[in-house]
Chain A
Amino acid sequence: MTVIEAPRSRARSRTSFEMYSWIFMRMSGLLLVVLVLGHLLIMNVLDGGVQRVNWGFVAGRWASPFWRTWDLMQLWLAELHGTNGLRTVINDYAVRDSTRFWLKMLLYTSAFLVLVLGTLVIFTFDPSMK
């Protein structure tokens, strides 16, 4: 039997942030399994799939607070789950400190824009626009 060395890690003070991040990935992941697979089922599989999606279809769904809440939760959980995943990937593969820093700034900026834009659209959408 081979003994495995301890994983490489940078020497720094351990905060509980990484533990909360670990738990968040699993909890959000569990919710996202339901939210995202439900979303894919409705949008791509049932009743004609993507061929029937148009502005009127979106307006019909977002007339209901249920689907707005669904999509809002989906947006926030998916974006935060994905951003945290990409943060881990950047930490793993970007070797230089400055590369890591700028990639993460780019990541956080994009996440901020996506969350603000998406939230604004869900809250300010007007089904009677047409």
Chain B
Amino acid sequence: MAKAPAGTLYRGRQGMWSWVAHRVTGVLVFFFLFAHVLDTALVRVSPDTYDKVIATYKTPIVNLLEFGLIAAVLYHALNGLRIMAIDFWEKGPRYQRQLTYAVLTLWFLLMAGAAQPVLAHTFRQVFGS
């Protein structure tokens, strides 16, 4: 594999792909935020309306999508911290590759830990108790 050109963090390899993933997750989360403010606004309409709409969040498919949303938000947050480390910490740029692996490792561990509490109910519902 060709070496990344010198003098840039954002062209080629880890630096570029983590940037691509940052964009994609950012756009996804932004669109969700739009829907989420609308559904939460229903608390002003009536308790009944709100509860009916929130019930869709508790169905297995939407619950799985929520797990995906958490994955996107968590990646965006951890990679955002990596970006700040690169921009503000003097040794950040030198360790950006290691920081990428730290982000991915931490992301994976936290997602593994979140799987049980987030998905347990859906798992029981789909596969029986």
Contact = CB atoms under 8 A, between A and B. Distances in A.
Size bracket of the A interface: 35 or more
Interface stretch (A13-21, A79-87, A94-102): A79-87
Interface in A2-29: 2-4, 26, 29
Contacts of B30: 82-83, 85-86
A110 B38 CA distance: 11
Size bracket of the B interface: 35 or more
Contacts of A51: 58, 121
Interface string B95-129: 00000000000000000001001100100000000
A82 B84 contact: no
Contacts of B34: 110, 114
Interface of A: 1-4, 26, 29-30, 32-33, 36-37, 40, 44-46, 48-51, 53-56, 58-59, 75, 78-79, 82-83, 85-86, 89, 110, 114, 117-118, 120-121, 124-125, 129-130
B27 A89 contact: yes
